[in-house]
């Protein structure tokens, strides 16, 4: 914001701007015209840009130069001081060495929580929100017992004099147990296996024949909508896409929902989605 006051009526042309020391962009000079009235102040305003985390500390000066009908320059120096940034990374691990960082734990696990920072000895506060929305303040590093199944949210705030205060949030989950299934092996000799195979083929042929005679599968009252297995596989594939995009928190939340659906499946359907679910669990870890 600036003002121009003249002792007489006159038309002037002038340029305005801000210049800072260092590698800062400079706006193109724009010649402005204004009709001044004797004794009446003209108010103007110039905006250089927004001071954000990308802006570096620097010495600057604002200037205004009248170029017609006479030459007149005025400038004012000022300093921009920007607090440095703390780079903060929460660490959620299975052990104090953080040899294995993960976002999924099994109920009863000990969860090790710590952080890494770009500055020494920052002032750190940490709050853990449990699945039932209760909160607990933590002193890091620390261990937390995975007693409740569901989503947990960790919020860490770090500050230090001369630095910007920064807050980071991480989501992780606790499940009932790892999805481990041992497929049942068919017991019997080769002849029995062959007979079973032939019987299945015959039944399929008969079923196809009957359904065609009766007007299709819908005539038998069989559901034609997507099965629970297809629904789970679709959700697993969606979670994998979220991981590829780097959205681990959303993928973890999706995984926890999938495990709930998985637990409701009968054993024969669990076998179908087991491998795909295990692949997702490995990707999240």
Question: Last residue of a domain, which of 80, 113, 140?
Answer: 80
Q: Cite the beta strand spans of the chain per DSSP E.
A: 2-4, 10-20, 32-36, 42-44, 58-68, 72-80, 84-85, 88-93, 104-106, 110-117, 123-129, 135-138, 142-145, 150-159, 163-164, 166-175
At 276 the pLDDT is 86
- Does one domain contain both 166 and 206? no
Is there a domain that residue 143 lies in? yes
- Does one domain contain both 201 and 279? yes
Is there a domain that residue 92 lies in? yes
Q: Which residues are 1's β-sheet partners?
A: none
Is there a domain that residue 200 lies in? yes
At 86 the pLDDT is 85
Is there a domain that residue 181 lies in? no
At 1 the pLDDT is 84
- Does one domain contain both 238 and 276? yes
- Does one domain contain both 199 and 279? yes
Question: Last residue of a domain, which of 175, 208, 234?
Answer: 175
- Does one domain contain both 97 and 110? yes
- Does one domain contain both 152 and 196? no
**Residue 107 structural domain:** 85-175
At 180 the pLDDT is 56
Q: Which residues are 142's β-sheet partners?
A: 113
Question: Last residue of a domain, which of 22, 46, 80?
Answer: 80
- Does one domain contain both 98 and 127? yes
- Does one domain contain both 212 and 277? yes
Count up the domains in the chain and report the number.
3
Q: Are 266 and 184 in contact (CB under 8 A)?
A: no
Model-level pTM?
0.44
- List average pLDDT for each run of 10 residues in the chain, which is 285 residues long: 90 90 73 92 86 71 91 89 82 91 92 93 95 95 94 94 88 82 53 70 73 50 60 89 82 86 86 85 78
At 185 the pLDDT is 53
Measured CA distances, 120 to 89, 123, 196 (Å): 14, 10, 70
* Domain harbouring 101, CATH code: 2.60.40.10
Any residues with CB less than 8 A from the CB of 159 and at least 6 apart, and which? Answer: 86, 122, 123, 165, 166
- Does one domain contain both 34 and 54? yes
- Does one domain contain both 169 and 244? no
At 192 the pLDDT is 64
Is there a domain that residue 184 lies in? no
- Does one domain contain both 164 and 101? yes
């Amino acid at each position: 914001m600036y003002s121009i006051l003249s002792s007489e009526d006159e038309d002037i042309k002038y340029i305005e701007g801000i210049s800072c020391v260092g590698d800062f962009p400079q706006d193109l000079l724009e010649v402005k015209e204004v009709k001044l009235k004797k004794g009446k102040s003209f108010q103007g305003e110039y905006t250089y840009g927004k001071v954000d985390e990308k802006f570096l500390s620097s010495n600057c000066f604002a200037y205004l130069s009248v170029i017609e009908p006479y030459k007149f320059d005025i400038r004012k120096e000022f300093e921009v001081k920007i607090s440095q940034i703390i780079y903060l990374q929460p660490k959620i691990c299975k052990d104090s060495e953080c040899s294995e960082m993960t976002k999924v734990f099994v109920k009863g696990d000990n969860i090790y929580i710590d952080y890494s920072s770009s500055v020494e000895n920052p002032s750190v506060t940490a709050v853990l929100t449990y699945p039932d929305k209760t909160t607990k303040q933590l002193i890091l590093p620390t261990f937390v017992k995975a007693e409740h199944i569901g989503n947990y949210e960790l919020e860490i705030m770090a500050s230090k004099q001369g630095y910007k205060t920064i807050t980071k949030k991480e989501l992780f989950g606790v499940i009932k147990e790892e999805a481990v299934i041992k497929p049942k092996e068919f017991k019997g000799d080769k002849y029995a296996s062959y007979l079973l195979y032939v019987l299945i083929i015959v039944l399929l042929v008969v079923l196809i024949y009957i359904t065609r005679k009766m007007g299709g599968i819908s005539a038998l009252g069989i559901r034609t909508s997507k099965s629970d297995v297809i629904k789970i596989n679709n959700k697993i594939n969606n979670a994998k896409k979220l991981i590829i995009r780097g959205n681990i928190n959303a993928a973890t939340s999706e995984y926890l929902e999938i495990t709930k659906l998985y637990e409701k499946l009968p054993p024969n359907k669990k076998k179908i989605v087991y491998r795909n679910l295990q692949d997702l669990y490995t990707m999240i870890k």
